[in-house]
């Protein structure tokens, strides 16, 4: 497996661990909400890492592969929606709330993040590994 994919998967695991820690502490607790803010920063850093190192390499390969271009477009559009939803959540809730709406919204963010990680690791990352194998032998 490529160094890049190994690093991205490590970041995914760290994000999943943070979500678990937030759930364990309780998102409305001071500790849980502070961890949620760290998750926000770590998610931003992870997305920047993908934008800098993963997507340009995939875009280069997609110039000669229409199916890869379709896949890449789908993933980039979906990620933009998720990032926008997450940022709206953080702007809407500068502090935790004891409400059903807050609970629903945080559950949605955690679900989107978890599903995205699964999809990247099962669909997108294997394509990158395949491209690296073809490219570098």
Residue 131: per-residue pLDDT = 85
DSSP assignment, residue 2? Answer: -
**DSSP 3-state of 3:** helix
Tokens representing 27 are 């998102």
The structure's pTM equals 0.92
User: Domain tally for the chain?
Assistant: 1
Domain that holds residue 128: 3-136
Average pLDDT, integer, range 49-54:
95
Q: Model confidence over 7-51: pLDDT tens digits?
A: 999 999 999 999 999 999 999 999 999 999 999 999 999 999 999
For the CA atoms of 123, 128, 131, 133, the dihedral, rounded to the nearest 10 degrees, stands at: -100
Task: Please report, for the chain, how many H helices and E strands are present, in that order.
Answer: 6, 0
* Distance set, CA 77 to CA 22, 35, 54, 80, 112 (Å): 27, 27, 15, 5, 14
* Pairwise pLDDT comparison (130 vs 12), residue with the higher score: 12
Residue 135: per-residue pLDDT = 73
Residue 136: per-residue pLDDT = 67
Q: Quick check: 120 and 12 in contact, CB under 8 A? A: yes
């Amino acid at each position: 497996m490529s160094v890049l994919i190994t690093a991205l998967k490590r970041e995914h695991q760290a994000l999943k661990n943070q979500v678990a820690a937030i759930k364990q502490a309780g998102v409305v607790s001071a500790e849980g909400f502070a961890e949620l803010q760290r998750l926000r920063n770590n998610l931003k850093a992870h997305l920047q890492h993908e934008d800098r190192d993963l997507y340009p390499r995939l875009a280069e390969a997609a110039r000669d592969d229409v199916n890869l271009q379709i896949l890449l477009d789908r993933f980039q559009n979906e990620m933009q929606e998720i990032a926008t939803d997450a940022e709206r959540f953080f702007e809407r809730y500068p502090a935790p709330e004891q409400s059903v709406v807050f609970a629903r919204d945080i559950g949605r963010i955690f679900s989107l993040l978890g599903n995205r990680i699964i999809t990247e690791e099962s669909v997108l990352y294997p394509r990158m590994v395949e491209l690296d194998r073809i490219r570098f032998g």
